[in-house]
Amino acid sequence: MHPNPDTLGAARTLIDETDREIIRLLARRFDAVRSVAQAKATDGDRPILDNDRERGVLAAWLRDAEALGLSAPFTRRVLKEILSHSRRLQEPLVEGSPASARRITVGYQGVPGSHSSLAAAHLLATRSVRGADLRGYALFQDVVEALQAGTLDYAFLPIENSIGGAIADVNRLLIDNTLHIVDEEVWEVDQVLAGLPGAALDQVRTVRSHPAALVQCEGYLRGLEEVVRQPWFDTAGAAESLLEDRDPAIAAICSEEAARARGLDVLATGIADQERNETRFLLIAREPEGPDPRVPAKTSLVFRLNHHEGTLARALGILSAAGANLTRIESRPLPATPWEYLFFVDVEGNQASPHLARALKELRSACNHLRVLGSYPHRARGAEPAMEQVPAVLEPPAPLSCAVEPEPAPPRPGRVRVNVGPIQVGEGAFVLMAGPCAVESRDQILEGARMVRAAGAAILRGGAFKPRTSPYAFQGLGLEGVALLKEAGRETGMPTVTEILTQEDIPDVAPHVDMLQVGARNMHNFALLKELGRLDKPILLKRGMSATLKEFLLAAEYILAGGNQRVILCERGIRTFETATRATLDLSAVPVLKRMTHLPVIVDPSHAAGERELVVPLALAAAAAGADGLIVEAHPWPETALCDKAQALTREDMAALAAGLRPILASQGRAW
């Protein structure tokens, strides 16, 4: 810790030192990111964006930030910038070999120092090119003509601004020319007021700039006395013109870079009306360039519809049904046919992915005319799930960390393995969790633990807080039960799992067990789930009795969204019209969940069956269906059990279960 500086100078020295350290640490982090990219380039299946990892990183940042008294929104914002840069840094490394790189020429509207030129340089620094020559043109149209003529490799044009909205001329150029969007850049536009050296703000009578910049700073301009707004072809061009006119009463709105490069004085900074002033630019080429499938992508479309009731709703319905999240929709009148419109739509996803390709095919048949303007890396990711709180609805393929497309499993970086103490759950291993429904006494839990251990159990279960249907039934030993479970686990070398009923119990229970269980009745207890999301402890989440798989995954999402990635899902039977068993064990949930999520899936046959004789066959069926493990209830003396005695497995049942499991797991090549 540094001593508290007590003078302004000392404080600033400390700030300077700290800033140097921040830069050094950032450089070190980005070096590590380059190594990650190299590893990903070797392992061709790993996408650049890893939501799980980002959530984990965010959780760690928030935890540390909270401990040091930093605000969570600020921390999120800083990390968002770092991660966004980190992803960009990886693109050229993961995408292509340097041998494929070449020198390119890119055209933009304006002169050096304009926001277009700065944004273009920023984007090009992340592409696999040997170098780029930037050429400024007076008009958007000139840039496009040079591209069409082959003078340029790419055009770099603004398409929308967060304050001023769509840039209609560029939309029109996109539809009038057969061009392809191959990349985008979102540029934070920082406007300053620049004047001749020595000019004073109160002398200024004319402010010139690009019309869009004048609009963005209108509130500021209104605060100046009697200034004339003078539209200019470009912001940096306006700055340049001050040197020609040499009139201190004229100022220009431009980037700070444009002002400084021309030796102008900066009279005022941060003058845009909104704190966030962003412009989205497009990199446009003559030929399409499909982005690497590992890069998060976006696809831009333009379509025309018949002028009938419901046609737009139907068209959007097709995209929505395919889970294609819309990031922009705009309409533009068709000049030749008044009151008919063209629709510009951007959707998340790559047109080369099967689900989007199918949706586009269907959309094409529902439209008069449809053109795909391009699929390109999605950089305008304002609402990244890892950084904002995760959306509450599961709209595949919304990049929820646990739920993915309902399509055949997309390439995933691999299934998640959850460590419970030294035991790994998921990724091919099979884990048997067993123990009594409730901890009743030291003798009972110790004997029960030895008994299940002997049958091959790796994790000891035991209820201390029991959610019972009747308030008069045995409610568990509470914290005394937790202590006994811990002792039994230690004695027999097994990590432990116990159910938690309320968030108030977490501080007392969590430190003493290796995994916390959320029972079926509590699957919808979102306050509890949120709290568990902040823990560094695995959570065994049981499916609610009447929960659909989608609802089940959304409950899991509550935990994941808080930063805790260690979730194991458990199917335990659902309510159906069938009364022959206590619940109907939904074994289809096992393969379906495995298709929908990367989380481990285990099965609890005891609660579904409700009677001992059915538990072993259901358990074997669950293993055959591919469950990553089982959780079963067993008791050394079932006839004396204080709860759920009818379903408690005996020593012999446990042995039969073990004997039945071995050949099934062996046939699947799974270790046990």
Ligand X SMILES: O=C(O)C(=O)C[C@]1(C(=O)O)C=C[C@@H](O)C=C1
If the CB atoms of residues 61 and 137 are measured against ligand X, the closer one turns out to be 61
Catalytic one among 235, 279, 498, 597?
279
Q: Which of 54, 185, 557, 628 binds ligand X (CB under 6 A)?
A: 54
The piece of 79-87, 322-330, 540-548, 632-640 that touches ligand X (CB under 6 A) is: 79-87
Catalytic one among 281, 303, 343, 344?
281
Can residue 645 be called a binding residue for ligand X (CB under 6 A)?
A: no
Residue 295 CB, shortest distance to ligand X, in Å, is 11
As a whole number of angstroms, the distance between CA 667 and CA 267 comes to 77
CB distance 303 to 207 below 8 Å: no
Q: Which of 33, 94, 253, 431 binds ligand X (CB under 6 A)?
A: 33
Instruction: Say if strands 601-603 and 629-633 run parallel, antiparallel, or are unpaired.
Output: parallel
Residue 125 CB, shortest distance to ligand X, in Å, is 17
397: preceding bond cis by omega (within 30 degrees): yes
Q: Which of 58, 83, 360, 569 binds ligand X (CB under 6 A)?
A: 83
Can residue 84 be called a binding residue for ligand X (CB under 6 A)?
A: no
If the CB atoms of residues 378 and 607 are measured against ligand X, the closer one turns out to be 378
The piece of 83-91, 247-255, 581-589, 599-607 that touches ligand X (CB under 6 A) is: 83-91
299 catalytically annotated: no
Bridge partners (DSSP) listed for residue 568? 540
Can residue 87 be called a binding residue for ligand X (CB under 6 A)?
A: yes
State both tokens at 342. Answer: 């063209």
CB distance 227 to 207 below 8 Å: yes
In 3D space, the residue among 328, 295, 287 whose CA is nearest the CA of residue 159 turns out to be 328
Can residue 88 be called a binding residue for ligand X (CB under 6 A)?
A: no
The piece of 80-88, 103-111, 493-501, 518-526 that touches ligand X (CB under 6 A) is: 80-88
The radius of gyration computed from the CA coordinates of the chain, to the nearest angstrom, equals 31
Can residue 14 be called a binding residue for ligand X (CB under 6 A)?
A: no
Can residue 400 be called a binding residue for ligand X (CB under 6 A)?
A: no
281 catalytically annotated: yes
Residues 6+ apart with CB under 8 A from 85: 30
Can residue 36 be called a binding residue for ligand X (CB under 6 A)?
A: yes
Q: Which amino acid is at 201?
A: L
Q: How many residues bind ligand X (CB under 6 A)?
A: 11
Burial of 365 (0-12, 13-18, 19+ CB in 10 A): exposed
As a whole number of angstroms, the distance between CA 127 and CA 17 comes to 33
Can residue 92 be called a binding residue for ligand X (CB under 6 A)?
A: no
As a whole number of angstroms, the distance between CA 64 and CA 154 comes to 44
Residue 378 CB, shortest distance to ligand X, in Å, is 13
In 3D space, the residue among 615, 602, 601, 603 whose CA is nearest the CA of residue 644 turns out to be 615
Can residue 41 be called a binding residue for ligand X (CB under 6 A)?
A: no
State both tokens at 238. Answer: 């306006």
Stretch (H or E) spanning 280: strand 278-285
DSSP strands (E only) in 362-402: 369-377
Can residue 53 be called a binding residue for ligand X (CB under 6 A)?
A: yes
Q: Which of residues 564-603 bind ligand X (CB under 6 A)?
A: none
Dihedral (Cα; 482, 487, 489, 491), 10-degree rounding? -170
Residue 47 CB, shortest distance to ligand X, in Å, is 8
The piece of 47-55, 177-185, 279-287, 322-330 that touches ligand X (CB under 6 A) is: 47-55
Can residue 378 be called a binding residue for ligand X (CB under 6 A)?
A: no
Residue 462 CB, shortest distance to ligand X, in Å, is 37
If the CB atoms of residues 296 and 629 are measured against ligand X, the closer one turns out to be 296
If the CB atoms of residues 87 and 572 are measured against ligand X, the closer one turns out to be 87
Can residue 55 be called a binding residue for ligand X (CB under 6 A)?
A: no
The piece of 13-21, 45-53, 268-276, 559-567 that touches ligand X (CB under 6 A) is: 45-53
If the CB atoms of residues 65 and 506 are measured against ligand X, the closer one turns out to be 65
* DSSP per-residue string spanning 83-124: HHHHHHHHHHHHH--GGG-EEEEEEEES-TTSHHHHHHHHHH
Residue 57 CB, shortest distance to ligand X, in Å, is 5
What would you measure as the largest C-alpha separation in the chain, in angstroms? 100
The alpha carbon dihedral of 237, 239, 243, 248 has a sign of positive
Residue 38 CB, shortest distance to ligand X, in Å, is 11
Q: Which of 58, 75, 86, 481 binds ligand X (CB under 6 A)?
A: 86
Can residue 147 be called a binding residue for ligand X (CB under 6 A)?
A: no
Can residue 497 be called a binding residue for ligand X (CB under 6 A)?
A: no
Stretch (H or E) spanning 557: helix 549-561
As a whole number of angstroms, the distance between CA 589 and CA 601 comes to 9
Residue 162 CB, shortest distance to ligand X, in Å, is 24
Residues 6+ apart with CB under 8 A from 490: none
Residue 32 CB, shortest distance to ligand X, in Å, is 8
Residues 6+ apart with CB under 8 A from 38: 93
Residue closest to ligand X, measured at CB: 86
Active site residues: 279, 281
Interface with ligand X (CB under 6 A): 33, 36, 49-50, 53-54, 57, 83, 86-87, 90
